[in-house]
Structure 1
């Protein structure tokens, strides 16, 4: 065992190895190939013990088959003396059989004779969340969810305040992303100063911050928000530069029956109302005061229960897409529907905005994509040119496992990538342009087509045609419902359709409800139609009866 009774049993190893649940320390005597691992790693991955002979082989058996050879090759170079630094990301299987993404970093320490002596490093498990956001030093969303859970268990009344920074992309564009990160950190520090020791401040996703205030009257929240507005406008400094910060905010009253996920979704809803309808002024979601707000909170709870119960009540309908030239079927858009025992059939316009703000929407999005691809396979088999459109929201696109999930679902279903079109919903405007471009580039590298949904709403800009590489612009039905009489919308559609045509981008018009509308818009450069004139959304069985005659 060589140094097992010496360096490998160093007290400092014991001290450092227990400081984090998600970062594991390992140290290997390269002459004996005996490795010691953190106790947390032994427990999480189900290793035979804290000390292991040939631990590299044991660890390799946990690594995903698609990643394993990269690991083996890199470790071989370490032990052959060809390199001293190990730095890899890969997937590893825990004791429950689930794969988690890990980042492994290590260094070779050489002895007095210059030969490799000790290999020491850390493995960061991205499947377990730390309590603190590394960039800002604030508590993170996982700590927030736990604290809300604790408040409910203790029967405490509280108010959650969710604050979002408006137009933060302008700061990144002007000063750069590194400077932008420092601005976010400074914003967090200003909030900590305002709230003092009475309440925690949390860094949520993106450019959002939260605080949970106990035993606080709503009137005080309005006063507190005005103070925050002032401090953000005048007292955020980085490198001596004052950065005026514009914010929006939503508040949720936590009283009675609630859970942490419903609270988070309600707060996001309130923040969106603040940003888009209140011009940044505080919007309070009071579930114990307004019937409409109470219904939203109850809907969120019912939606979450449905998702946890194997997506009970959720199903997909498909609305056909037709060529404007031949009026032949060219594809369909998959649309989510939900029926609840308690609420009956709930309209998409009511439940989807709530879902898109819920953290669990990523998993639901994966379910939608998998179900849509599986149900549409027969259409593709019978019509090789058939294109399936599936919506993807900000919550999905911004998730760190989005790319991996798309690749996994495509592999699982065997659906041809060139028959899939991802429609980016209006919520994706929240993403930074560079990030959005990178995600679109990834999807296109797989052969997937890209469409911009609801063009003409807040997401829209002619810059999209030059900034984003997309195949299709889908005009929001708000632009087409009165197309025969609204001269302003006629001019807009004509100009953008002509511009798109020059750039070889297709234009799809939604909301086609009559033959007169279709005949009228033929004067523009339109590629495809979608609307009730052709068909309402129907389940796949009915869709195939209509278009495959099965």
Structure 2
């Protein structure tokens, strides 16, 4: 065999074993041969079978399998006529493996004289590549759809700061078309100062490859925006190729939070400081100055409300608040610290003579008949005042001493105002005896617990109870919690009282669980108890000793306590939550904490105070705030309990706002343990078909521990 024959043999053998389809034809389109892979691919019996046949002649033998379409056959003619290779890309063909995509190359064959004598076809299966490209296109289309649907403003910039891509929200914000921004820099779109901030953060990101977050406010397209910006590096092959900015307009959210924060620091009716804010300012006053405090009570405001309605009563409060503001010294701290009580704290009126003058002036202006909504109101006030340091030597006693003076004025019909006199402290003797009795009651554990049901708003099932302390004094009878709890807090007894209440509550919960009463127990903690470093261990001990699930114990902390809490208290609350105990913010709305605090304190529940529930659909501001609080809590996944629900109309309004739980006289008063068991079993056996009770309007609402 000659060298030429040997080489031909090697080439033919190589072609036969190549993993791609190879065939060759003459200039008339008749097959001259093909390799084994081509036969296998199209399920042809042998090479001899195709020799001399055209594609049309092979069609009957291939049955339903399709040979190359007209476009592919056209490439035969192009290769033969023009004498150059022609590639038919991604041709759809049927093979033994099913539908496939092929890239077929047609190469003209020449004789030794250069004449075209046929063509060589090479069929490469690119199905896998085609499918990958198709999936990539689908994925890209999906991502583009998501990208454009995002409500946030997304902008991608290259290393030169030119905008490469942005989504629909960003274009809408700028009120521009995409063609107007692509290729531009932020300096061409944003205000100069804003663009500089963006460029500075881009520079930092390019140097440290770290994401950045910042907020900025600017005007764009006639609109004031306040955005929260997150910048991230875009890295390819370990190289920074650009930056992506994701921004969200939080102006409305900020305005809402600022409005709520302002509302929470002020009395909503008179716009003066509320009690919590006033006490905070009192705590921070400069003790190097002289100070005077005046408390003003509106006499018989409750009677005015009953006689003329709360709308008239509110007008009276607004009138009195306005007069006080008009007559008080400039820069005085003015507050409405109780329903019918106002306070003035000033360092410009501090001597007894100055206080006497201002008190007389207030009485002269406010003790008179006024006309409100066609009604003639016989307005009367009483005043208690004190000063520092002439009369008292401790600023912490300004409020309590003023209250003692006010109490004297309230009791003395003929005396409109009283300046505190140390002699008044003699009246504290009775209080001292009461403190001793309270100590004994705590030691004897003779303070009882009553339990008020907490109801599911939808099913009306009993979810839990709040444990309320009741002191039946052997001589004085029932003493209101507001009185003995205040005594306990002021006389370092609140820790012992709180421990006793917690232990009794856990013990009772364990007994109920043994009776198949599976509910949670809510127990109040005083802010003073957080000064006890052993508080958490004591709570843990009671949970373990009485073998109750931690999540069935709910600790209630007042809103004002949260606002005044220090880092130690916050750490304790975090430990409680880690223990499994649920945290509830009590009397929400009265302490007026910043709602932003809820983001940082993972509370499970907040309880809307009865004072808000009482004014639903009567006071627009109260109603709006209550609606906002429920909505915000729902967004933060915080359960909401409405306290003091006494009317079916209140319940229906709260249900419409998707309030989660109810507590109040409409369902049940606080009950001793045995009566609660009877109440629970009665309602439990009747599928919680609770009979609503009509509230007794003359009864006082008890404040609880």
TM superposition score normalised by structure 1 = 0.49
Task: Please tell me whether Structure 1 or Structure 2 has the larger radius of gyration of its CA atoms.
Answer: 2
TM-score of the pair, normalised by structure 2: 0.39
